[in-house]
């Protein structure tokens, strides 16, 4: 039982919610004026948010959970270069000069709730399957590249990491590189971002 608990904790720590990147793209284009339900509707319109449950109430809950989970992960990823205000009815991406006075609250019970995948009401395997499907949709959305010779060694080299890099190091590097090369950034590069997506697709497993 302790081993299962440990594995579940590792799973939660390393699981990357692929909604981070489409949400970041949406917020870069329109930094304010979003609520969870309007963000969900927009993600549905661009075909990145499928129906998650046959029961309408559960579908609504799961959409809300995944978006809030992504927002809290994104908040920590962007800080201190930007501040992402995470409130269900007022989501705002603030520039660097507005970061002062804000910091990630690691004691926030709402944050803890949405970062705990057990609250999604699904088994670990279902969450993995769900996020794999989301990731596939996102790769198609940004335009996948044919990198047939990409393997773990080449992906790690692209990330500038040693072969024995931990999953935590890999994820942190992926987020740093994705933020650097994201097409919506001033010096972003869509081709480089797509290649990085393929490398992450190999390394995230």
Residue 15 reports pLDDT greater than 60: yes
Number of domains in the chain: 2
Tell whether 30 and 85 lie within a shared domain: yes
Tokens of 7: 């594995």
CB 147 within 8 A of CB 197: no
Domain containing 147: what range? Answer: 143-204
pTM: 0.79
Q: Poorest-confidence range of 61-65, 122-126, 150-154, 164-168?
A: 122-126
Tell whether 166 and 80 lie within a shared domain: no
In 3D, which of 203, 177, 176, 170 has the Cα closest to residue 192?
177
Proportion of the chain above pLDDT 70, given as a percent:
90
Tell me what pLDDT residue 159 has: 95
Tell me what pLDDT residue 35 has: 93
Q: Judge whether 57 lies within some domain.
A: yes
């Amino acid at each position: 039982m302790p081993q299962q608990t440990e594995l579940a904790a590792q799973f939660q720590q390393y699981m990357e919610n692929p909604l981070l990147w489409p949400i970041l793209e949406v917020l870069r284009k329109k930094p304010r004026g979003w609520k969870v339900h309007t963000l969900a509707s927009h993600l549905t319109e661009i075909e990145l948010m499928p129906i998650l449950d046959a029961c309408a109430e559960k579908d609504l809950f799961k959409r809300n959970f995944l978006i809030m989970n992504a927002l809290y992960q994104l908040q920590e990823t962007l800080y201190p270069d930007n501040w992402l205000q995470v409130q269900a009815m007022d989501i705002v991406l603030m520039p660097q000069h507005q970061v002062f006075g804000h910091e990630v609250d690691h004691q926030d019970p709402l944050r803890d709730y949405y970062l705990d995948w057990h609250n999604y009401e699904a088994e670990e395997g279902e969450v993995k399957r769900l996020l794999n499907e989301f990731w596939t949709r996102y790769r198609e959305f940004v335009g996948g590249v044919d990198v047939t010779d990409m393997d773990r060694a080449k992906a790690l080299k692209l990330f500038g990491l040693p072969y024995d890099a931990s999953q935590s190091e890999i994820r942190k590097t992926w987020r740093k590189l994705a933020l650097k090369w994201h097409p919506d950034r001033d010096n972003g590069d869509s081709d480089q971002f797509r290649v990085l997506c393929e490398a992450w697709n190999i390394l995230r497993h």
